[in-house]
Amino acid sequence: MMSGTQSTKSIILRIKKVENKFNSFWLKSVEDVDLSQHCIKCLIGERNYAITQDSGCTVSLNPQKIWYLCGVTRPYKWENNFHLAFEYSAGDIFTVQRNGVTLKVFNAKEIPISPDDINPDDPHASNPKYSTCRNWQFANYFAKKYGIKQLTLF
């Protein structure tokens, strides 16, 4: 994803506050995507199990990977879920305050997640289970920007 000339300085993600605990709160690198799946399964990469919902939780992340943070509400209400995609950007800092989560990320920039990135020719594009899934929306962005290595058999 990244050129060899970029710094190897870590991305630092710091949780400031999570107002309402999520049923599931996960962080993973995105190294590939599988557009035949939605939710967590469409993003292929390693989970980072050091992330917690605790105030002050700080994780150091590989700058050569793209990262995705997701919080799934309890009780489940998709529009209240938390989603954040980000990638390395030397010296940049951004703060996010949405859906009850406040956090700060150092040496990174946010990657917008939008239904506009969905490939309208994808066979799942008109299925609300896919088209409303922010993970799948981001997977479409990733596929467009980086291509897909994953081969789908179906």
Structure confidence by residue, pLDDT tens digits, 24-40:
999 999 999 999 999 99
pTM: predicted TM-score of the whole model, two decimal places: 0.91
Identify the residue whose tokens are 């291509």: 147
**20 contacts: CB under 8 Å, gap ≥ 6:** 73, 100
Strand blocks (E) in 80-119? 82-98, 101-111
User: What pLDDT, on a 0 to 100 scale, did the predictor assign at position 149?
Assistant: 65
- Rounded Cα gap, residues 48 and 107, in angstroms: 18
Q: Which residues pair with 26 in a beta bridge?
A: 70
Per-residue pLDDT tens digits for 101-142: 999 999 999 999 999 999 999 999 999 999 999 999 999 999
